[in-house]
Structure 1
Amino acid sequence: MAAAGSTPVKSAGPVPFKDVDDGSVPEHTPKEELSDLVAGLPCGRRGGTRLYQRFWLPAHLVPGAVVFQRRFTPRPDDVILASPAKCGTTWLKALAFAVAARTQYPPAGAEHPLRRLNPHDCVPFIEEVFARGVEAKLDLLPSPRLMNTHLPYTLLPEAVTSGGGCGRVVYICRDLKDMVVSMWHFFGPTRNLSFDEVFQGVCEGTMPVGPVWDHVLGYWRASVARPDRVLFLKYEDLLRDPGSNVRRLAEFMGQPFSAAEEAAGAVASVVDLCCFRTMKGLEANKTGTVGSFIGFPRGSYFRKGVAGDWASHMTPEMAARLDGIVRDKFRGTGLNFT
């Protein structure tokens, strides 16, 4: 990893995935190839999830997860951004893209891709790419490639997680009480889920990519064992001190800010470009949808951008129940959200 204060690594990439993805799909996709496997997996209560290798995955993404596991060929400088759903994924995508692309796209510039595209258009959701059968388009991306996944650490390809694995992984999570609230606002309207149903699903470990505590602990333990390859971030820490965490992210990605960049205010420019106020105000994030299988309104990714909103939705008993589950699951690991 480059030393702090050195000249940032210059590269051809990244470029927005949308700029290389024309939306076309091949004649045959993994859905047909793996239909028997998916059909044989235990089904979730509402039918939209399947239990695959101890985790509940959205049924339509299981084929993509399987093919990603089996066929993904990483590059040494790949960066995979990982998270449970509704835990700061959009913000992390924006920050990582702005950091990695700052040489060719100055963050204060009017032509920056994040001013015309949603962060999800810039950094591809890798299970969806493989589920569509268009993974060859990943080869069109110059290095370093940025990709995103909601898969647990144990479901990542061995070429990424092994001792000599390629690439780096950046993980973000948040207080699970706030995750529940964000999940409900995001998924509730399209899936006709009440707040109580989302809360119960998280507590039971049956919501998508759950059990979420196992998801979080998988990446936490990997970050402890391989700190040079797995960076563990908390949404609340990013809110409290975005500048320090952007520097930490850049250093981990091998692209630290130089002294000249620091003096010129580059860190502040990245933070300002990617902050909730800026992102929510851009026309690119107000209209249209994101997602090839289920289209979510771009504006739905920018609701509040705060911590602690759970207090407006949960009873004290609900909060105590979830806190108790998390405390029991995390006991002895060194991880907490207090």
Structure 2
Amino acid sequence: MSAPNNSRLPKYLQEVDNLTDECRELISTLPSEMGWLPMFMHFYQGIWYSTRTLKAILQVQHHFRALDSDIVLVSTPKSGTIWLKAILFSLLNRSYYHSNKKVDHPLLRKNPHELVPFLESLHMLDTNPDLSSFTSPRLFATHIPFGSLPESMKNSKCKIVYLCRNPKDTYVSLWQFTNNLLPKETGTTSPLEETFDKFCRGVSMYGPFWDHVLGYYKASLEMPHKVFFLTYEEMKEKPREQLKRLADFLGCPFSEDEEEVDGGVDEILRLCSFNNLSKLEVNQNGKLSTGHENKSFFRKGEVGDWVSYLTPDMIERIDRITEEKFHGSGLKL
């Protein structure tokens, strides 16, 4: 795949032309290859990033200062991030919107990505963004692997919620999402076999997938008070139980009334369900400031959809890699 003319692509797919000298010099020293999208990716601190993302990562590392009260949702791309963004926002703001029945819940009119911004996106727009308008606890999201987090995030008392998904569903969802981002008029697609090979070699957004997951899994074992490790499959199987665990971890547990009488737990799960969010007008026809269509973030939300796409050889290969990478860790996905 070769990179087409910038003018034919939406802004979020265009190669960056205003790189800092630091970033440009760094890229010249890094292994690089064409990614799933028609743009180059670079191998930095053991992880693959697009040029645009790498520029933002450097700014986050240089400028972001975590507060002890911060809550950061970290995830592998296409692991249910938008669902957990909605859940965390609703969980942390539940008392206000429950006691103000006349106030529309923001999730009814805004995409979860607007309410819980990615640190990378904030630093793409502004080298050192002013975050003073965020109320405490500040809630952010990121895909940055544990080893590359800003030092203030590692050393402060801020809490990290980590979400991942089994690698086969992660790959299929990422492949579908990638193809949805490519404008049809360019005639460009990301072939299944080609992107699958890249994924297995670790060349994917914030990949290798297995290294990303292991970094946070180990951190959750070493610092259970700081890092909460959650899988998409656990959340789908027992949403009430996992939501209550999240509330306890974040220091805002549900009362008995909220659990049983008031319906607080069930109301959050209903509001944030795939079925509800995907049907909202804002998520069917709205767009983010980046140009991404909101509907592109909602596909099926199913567990095990990979069976419809992967061949037996593909399944064998990815299962073998997973077994080798996770061997001895105690982690099963």
Q: What band does the TM-score fall into relative to the shorter chain?
A: 0.7 to 0.9
Identity of aligned pairs, percent?
Answer: 37
Q: 1:303 to 1:33 in 2, by over 3 A?
A: same
Q: Matched residue of 2:301: which SS? A: coil
- State the 1:133 CA deviation: 1.2
Structure 1 unmatched ranges of 5 or more:
1-28
User: Of 102, 117, 120, which residue of structure 2 is paired with 1:124?
Assistant: 117
Q: Is the 8 A contact 1:108 1:273 kept in 2?
A: no
Q: 1:135 to 1:247 in 2, by over 3 A?
A: farther
Deviation at 1:313, TM superposition (A): 0.4
The Cα of 1:188 is off from its aligned counterpart by 2.0
Within 1, Cα distance between the matches of 2:107 and 2:180?
27
Tell me which residue corresponds to 1:6: none
Q: 1:42 to 1:233 in 2, by over 3 A?
A: same
Tell me the alpha carbon deviations over residues 232-287 of structure 1, each in whole angstroms, 9 at most, x when there is no partner: 00001111111111111111111111122222110000000001110011111111
How far apart are the structure 1 equivalents of 2:219 and 2:202?
21
For 2:232, the equivalent position in structure 1 comes to 235
Cα shift at 1:37: 3.4
- Partners of 2:63 and 2:128 within 8 A in 1: no
Aligned pairs, how many?
305
2:222 aligned with 1:225? yes
What residue in structure 1 maps to residue 143 of structure 2?
150
- 2:59–2:128 Cα contact (<8 Å) kept: no
Deviation (angstroms), 1:38: 4.6
SS, match of residue 230 in structure 2:
strand
Gaps of 5+ in 2: 1-16, 183-188
Q: Is residue 78–residue 143 contact of structure 1 (8 Å, CA) maintained in 2?
A: yes
Which of 50, 58, 66 is 2:58 aligned to? 66
CA contact (8 A) 1:178 1:308 kept: yes
* Greater RCO (CA < 8 Å, at least 6 residues apart): 1
| Structure 2 CA distance for partners of 1:161 and 1:207, relative to 1, 3 Å | same
1:252 partner amino acid: F
1:140-193 Cα shifts (integer Å, max 9, x gaps): 10101111101101110111123xx23000010011000111011100243420
Matches of 2:100 and 2:248, distance apart in 1:
20
Measure the CA separation in 2 of the matches of 1:76 and 1:157.
14
Which residue in the other structure is 2:169 paired with? 178
Read off the aligned partner of 2:227 and give its amino acid letter. V
Matched, 1:329 2:318: no
Alignment of 1:79 onto 2:71? yes
**Do the aligned partners of 1:44 and 1:56 also contact (CA within 8 Å) in 2?**
no
User: SS of the residue aligned with 1:181?
Assistant: helix
Equivalent-residue separation in structure 2 for 1:320 and 1:108 (angstroms): 53
Instruction: Check the 8 A contact 1:83/1:173 in 2, yes or no.
Output: yes
Q: Who is 1:36 aligned against?
A: 24
* Normalised TM-score (structure 2): 0.87
1:179-328 equivalent positions in 2, closer than 5 A: 179-191=170-182, 192-262=189-259, 263-290=261-288, 292=290, 295-328=291-324
Moved more, 98-107 or 215-224: 98-107
Over the aligned positions, Cα root-mean-square deviation in angstroms equals 1.9
Q: Matched residues in 2 for 1:327 and 1:139: separation?
A: 44
CA distance in 2 between partners of 1:64 and 1:173 (Å): 22
Q: 1:290 to 1:196 in 2, by over 3 A?
A: farther
Q: Find the aligned partners of 1:33 and 1:126 in 2 and give their Cα distance.
A: 22
Q: Give the whole-Å Cα distance in 1 for the aligned partners of 2:27 and 2:130.
A: 28
